[in-house]
Amino acid sequence: MLDFSQLEILPDLNIYPGGCEYAGKRVRLSPQQNTFLTRLRDRHPEAATFDELTGAIYAGHDWPFGNNIKVYACKIRFKLKKLGLSIENIRGYGYRLVYGRGVSGHSAEDSIRLTTSDRLG
């Protein structure tokens, strides 16, 4: 028998070329930010790894050295805050998209705990 107790129903996060829309609000995104957010949405509720995000953004190109993924996360985090969304850093692993408390019933702190516990055991 299937267990649906952990199933999380997600609201619509519409990502389109040049931006995204959530809860009737829109923000503009660069092509790289668009790819970053799309990967996080597609992996939700799990985290996307640093390598997975880098591979998606730089597909077919040489991967850069440095902290480019962290810069994308920082810049998109500011934009998503306007929509009531956030990106959580899973230290040493990657990033996870977090919907507001009213949507999923979990706070950002719960999201980190859930992801970490899922990854560790």
**Cα–Cα distance measured from residue 115 to residue 105, given in angstroms and rounded to the nearest whole number:** 15
Assign residue 94 a region: left if phi > 0, alpha if psi is -120 to 50, beta otherwise?
left
| Domains within the chain, CATH numbers bracketed | 26-120 (1.10.10.10)
Reference 73, options 115, 62, 90, 23; nearest CA is 90
Res 2: pLDDT = 53
pTM over 0.85: no
| Helices and strands in the chain: count of H runs, count of E runs | 5, 6
Q: Are the C-beta atoms of residues 45 and 108 closer than 8 Å to each other? A: no
pLDDT over threshold 60, residue 105: no
Q: What is the mean pLDDT of residues 43-62?
A: 87
